[in-house]
């Protein structure tokens, strides 16, 4: 069994390649049981959470491969870790042979998640962003932000990037890192102006208060919401939701876990029929993505086990061939 580090994941993947792999995965489908949540009670301090995200090749599908794979992401969330200088969220991805069940690889979970999350957003932008979109606003400067900038640049010709973050020094730091890679990028403290400037707005924060204001968005903008992964978190306001044509990674996940969708549904601002398509429907051509250059589109992702499986398979195949 291979044990693969974050650096090895980086070496095995490319943004264009993984976007294509995710497109194929959503088109062909996989078996994705409901995500398992288990509370781990502590006698002292905050309780932890154990998350299990399994998926496997759909062997009953008409185009199913004879081999196939099984995968499960194992994640723990331990809030008290921050006090001892460790990340609160850690995990691994276990990839198995789909026929024998034998372990094939144990892959760095956080890095695999960063890649697949960014490339899922880029896949959505392939269907939803204007073809000539060239100005990207990145809201948030955390670990996911640089991956989102690179992924969007893999599907659209991004000529200018602006980064906004509550702590401006972190935005400046990320801007410097991306400039070193050849991006034309600046950190901004004027979020309102940047919202009206951008062709693509990507947000990866844990904000409970909306940061994306729909009244400031220009016609033709594509909004990519990544960070709000619980019903209590919200990155875009009601004006954004009502102005936009809405798309999600999966209907089941977004309508139960994403505050940007759940809260407007509960308030009656939108209805389930206003969520026009998910990535399965877009990649299969069952639903239409962007219909005009003037419309505002919105994509909300919460993550899907299928994405981890596709990324894990890609990493394994590349590195197994060279080991």
For residues 31 and 167, membership in a common domain is answered with no
153 and 294 fall within a common domain: yes
Task: Kindly state the average pLDDT of the residues 301-309.
Answer: 95
What's the mean per-residue pLDDT of the chain?
94
With 80 as the cut, is the pLDDT of residue 303 above it?
A: yes
Length of the chain: 323
DSSP code per residue over 219-287 = TT-EEEE-S--STT--SB-HHHHHHEEEEES-HHHHHHH-HHHHHHHHHTSS-GGGEEEEHHHHHTTSS
What is the total count of domains within the chain? 2
Q: Count other C-beta atoms under 10 Å from residue 166's C-beta.
A: 13
Reduce the DSSP state of residue 142 to 3 states and report it.
coil
* Mean pLDDT of all residues in 97-104: 94
pTM (predicted TM-score): 0.94
**Are residues 228 and 299 located together in one domain of the fold?**
yes
List the one residue out of 74, 68, 121 whose CA is nearest residue 96.
68
Query: Same domain, yes or no, for 183 and 289?
Result: yes
Structural domain includes residue 234: yes
The residue segments making up the domain with residue 294 are 127-303
3-state secondary structure of 162: strand
Domain membership flag for residue 187: yes
Q: Tens digits of per-residue pLDDT, 48-71?
A: 989 999 999 987 766 655 579 999
Q: Per the domain annotation, does 63 fall within a domain? A: yes
Q: Are residues 144 and 245 in the same domain?
A: yes
Taking residues 59-85, what's their average pLDDT?
A: 82
| CATH number, domain containing residue 195 | 3.40.50.720
Q: What is the per-residue pLDDT across 177-236, written as a single tens digit (0 to 9) for each?
A: 999 999 999 999 999 999 999 999 999 998 999 999 999 999 999 999 999 888 889 999
- Predicted pLDDT at 65: 58
User: 76 or 64, which is more confident?
Assistant: 76
Query: Do 41 and 105 reside in the same domain of the chain?
Result: yes
Q: What percent of the chain has pLDDT over 70?
A: 98
Indicate whether 117 belongs to any domain: no
97 and 139 housed in the same domain = no
Residue indicated by tokens 């589109």: 297
pLDDT for position 72: 97
Distance CA 199, CA 188 (A): 16
pLDDT of residue 58: 83
Mean pLDDT of 250-279: 94
């Amino acid at each position: 069994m291979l044990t693969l580090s974050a650096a090895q994941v980086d070496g095995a993947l490319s943004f264009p390649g993984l976007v294509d792999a995710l497109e194929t995965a959503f088109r062909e489908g996989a078996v994705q049981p409901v995500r398992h949540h288990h509370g781990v009670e502590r006698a002292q301090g905050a309780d932890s959470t154990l998350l299990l995200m399994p998926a496997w090749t759909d062997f009953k599908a008409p185009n199913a491969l004879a081999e196939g794979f099984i995968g499960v992401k194992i994640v723990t969330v331990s809030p008290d870790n921050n006090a001892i200088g460790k990340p609160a969220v850690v995990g691994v991805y276990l990839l198995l042979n789909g026929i024998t069940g034998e372990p094939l690889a144990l892959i760095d979970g956080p890095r695999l998640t960063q890649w697949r999350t960014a490339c899922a957003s880029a896949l959505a932008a392939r269907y939803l962003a204007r073809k000539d979109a060239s100005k990207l606003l990145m809201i948030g400067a955390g670990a996911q932000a640089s991956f989102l900038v690179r992924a969007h640049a893999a599907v659209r010709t991004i000529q200018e990037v602006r980064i906004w973050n509550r702590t401006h020094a972190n935005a400046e730091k990320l801007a410097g890192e991306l400039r070193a890679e050849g991006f034309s990028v600046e950190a901004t403290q004027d979020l309102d102006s940047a919202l009206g400037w951008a062709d693509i707005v990507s947000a990866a924060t844990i904000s409970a208060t909306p940061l994306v204001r729909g009244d400031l968005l220009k016609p033709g903008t594509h909004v990519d919401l990544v960070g709000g992964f619980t019903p209590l978190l919200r990155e875009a306001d009601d004006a954004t939701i009502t102005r936009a044509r809405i798309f999600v990674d999966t209907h089941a996940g977004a309508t139960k876990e994403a505050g940007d969708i759940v809260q407007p549904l509960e308030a009656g601002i939108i209805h389930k029929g206003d969520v026009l398509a998910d990535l399965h429907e877009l990649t299969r051509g069952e639903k239409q993505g962007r219909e005009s250059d003037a419309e505002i589109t919105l994509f909300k992702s919460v993550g899907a086990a299928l994405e981890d499986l596709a990324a894990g398979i890609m990493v394994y195949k590349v590195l197994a061939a060279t080991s």
